[in-house]
Amino acid sequence: MHPLWTEALNTLRSHLSEESYNTWIAPLCFAGVDASGQLTLKVPNRFYADWVNAHYAAIILEVFAAGVPEPAKLHCKWEVDEGLQAQLQAQVERERQTDARDASRSGAAEREMTRPALERKATATAGRASAVSAVAPATTSAQLNPKYRFDTFIVGPSNQLAHAASVAVGASPGRRYNPLFMYGGVGLGKTHLCNAIGHQIRADRPAARIVYVSAEEFTNEFIWALRNHRIDAFRARYRSACDVLLMDDIQFLAGREQTQEEFFHTFNALYHADRQIVVTSDVFPQQIPEMQERLVSRFQSGLVADTQPPELDTRVAILQKKAEQEGIDLDAAVAHYVAQVVKSNVRELEGTLLRLAVKAELLKQPLSLELARATVAPQQSAPMRRGSVDEIQRVVCEHYGLRISDLKSKGRQRSVALPRMVAMYLCRQRLQLSYPEIGDRFGGKDHTTVINAVRKVTRLVNDDVDMNAVLDRLNLSLNRSA
């Protein structure tokens, strides 16, 4: 371990109550300090980063200042780490299960969760922890994706309304369209528009406190805040310290009673203070399963706009824009060809373009129509042998050098967890099995574990070239195996 980090930990330990130390400092992971004075620290979630940054960063920096050449330039960079996030989730899950068992024994399932009790607890702990002030975490600078701006968004008939509404909201938040609810299938630009709204508001009103969060993160932070008696800080972040709430993928709240309840109050607080709320979902409000009626009616009370799969011309324009952004030399004929073949969503369109560019570069060939034909056509039209769960598990285990029993075990270490997620993803994709069915075949996992696995791999597929290569290989083996 870095000696300064060890020293920082010692200092923090002596400053903080044991509870605060264990809650906030112990899970931090120090990833290094570079020549520019940037200290990289890994955290389980953003809410966490905000809090530690607001309350403890000064202490950490002070320790480091004594040991670096240019102390004036010292600053912290917070990175949300998926491993830490998973650990935290696992811990929360374990505690939840223990709680549920205890509660059902005493027949008081919900009692512990009632609001006044929580608030009492929260105030009590806030008073006790020495270095933790009762104030809200520092203003969040929303972690907006820098690529998702209005000027990189191509408008066509399929997304015209959602785009126009987003522009209007970006220009005058909290006024005309509140809330703005955007819905549509995967990869059609909802997240892009949501971020673009954030960028626009930030450009016009630098002081606006913008919170961009997925419903999944919101849920995790909420559960975590409950567990750690930080509900007051959580509420400050989402209510009093928030001018614009951009909530992505609200469908994640399906069936999550308690988080919906919390979100309902968040929504009301913001709405009544004329703060802008933007919500996205993969389906129309009324179609979100297991969503409280009163939330559905809130969602419909503003403007509801959809994003549809883009038409051919829009697809061509998107490809050209993307190529320009990525510095890819894209011939008009190739763009046209790809746009004709890849129809379903924009993410896939982009993915295909990037794969083509990588391939052309590797082969040291121009990105020609020929290359595009040879690459894209088989990918689209190969009839898929679907295989079986057993086959998928076997092929995945062969690839990663694991035993089938590992996939069915409860082991959470990454070497097992990732292959398990990949295998679940393949079962879903190739066999279209239901989440509970897949869970059953993997040693009786909960369906939410499967849902998270499929989401996670989907995300990796979008972001990670290696993951694509692995999946290509696995799919190929499955297509071949008799």
Q: Which residues bind ligand ADP (CB under 6 A)?
A: 148, 152-154, 159, 184, 186-192, 318, 321, 346-347, 350
Q: How far is the CB of 187 from Mg ion (least distance, A)?
A: 8
Is residue 425 within 8 Å of residue 454, measured between CB atoms?
yes
Residue from the set 159, 166, 178, 191 that interacts with Mg ion by CB under 5 A: 191
- Burial-class residue 319 by CB neighbours within 10 Å (0-12, 13-18, 19+): buried
Stretch that binds Mg ion, among 67-75, 191-199, 230-238, 339-347 (CB under 5 A): 191-199
Token pair 């009616």 is found at 297
CB of 277 or CB of 360, closer to Mg ion: 277
Q: Which does 159 bind (CB under 5 to 8 A by kind): ligand ADP, Mg ion, none?
A: ligand ADP
Nearest to 215 by CA among 264, 259, 267, 165: 259
Is residue 442 within 8 Å of residue 363, measured between CB atoms?
no
3-state helix, strand, coil split of the chain in percent (to 5) is 60, 10, 30
CB of 29 or CB of 317, closer to ligand ADP: 317
CB of 83 or CB of 351, closer to ligand ADP: 351
Exposure string for 288-309, b = 16+ CB within 10 A, e = fewer: beebeeebbebbeebbbbbbbb
Residue 221 CB partners (closer than 8 Å, separation 6+) = 45, 46, 47, 213, 234
CB of 174 or CB of 310, closer to ligand ADP: 310
Strand partners, 305: 182
CB of 42 or CB of 163, closer to Mg ion: 163
Q: How far is the CB of 152 from Mg ion (least distance, A)?
A: 15
CB of 190 or CB of 275, closer to Mg ion: 190
Q: Which does 11 bind (CB under 5 to 8 A by kind): ligand ADP, Mg ion, none?
A: none
- In angstroms, the CA 323 to CA 92 distance is 43
Q: How far is the CB of 2 from ligand ADP (least distance, A)?
A: 37
Q: How far is the CB of 359 from ligand ADP (least distance, A)?
A: 20
Q: Which does 239 bind (CB under 5 to 8 A by kind): Mg ion, ligand ADP, none?
A: none
Q: Is 195 in the site for Mg ion (CB under 5 A)?
A: no
- In angstroms, the CA 20 to CA 129 distance is 6
Q: Which does 198 bind (CB under 5 to 8 A by kind): ligand ADP, Mg ion, none?
A: none
CB-closest chain residue to ligand ADP: 189
Structure tokens that stand for 16 in this block: 């903080």
Q: How far is the CB of 249 from Mg ion (least distance, A)?
A: 6
Q: How far is the CB of 200 from ligand ADP (least distance, A)?
A: 15
Q: Determine phi and psi for 239, rounding to 5 degrees.
A: -120, -75
The H or E element that residue 106 is part of is helix 82-106
Q: Is 228 in the site for Mg ion (CB under 5 A)?
A: no
Q: How far is the CB of 431 from Mg ion (least distance, A)?
A: 25
242 DSSP assignment: -
Q: How far is the CB of 201 from Mg ion (least distance, A)?
A: 19
Residues at the site binding Mg ion, with contacts judged by CB under 5 A: 190-191
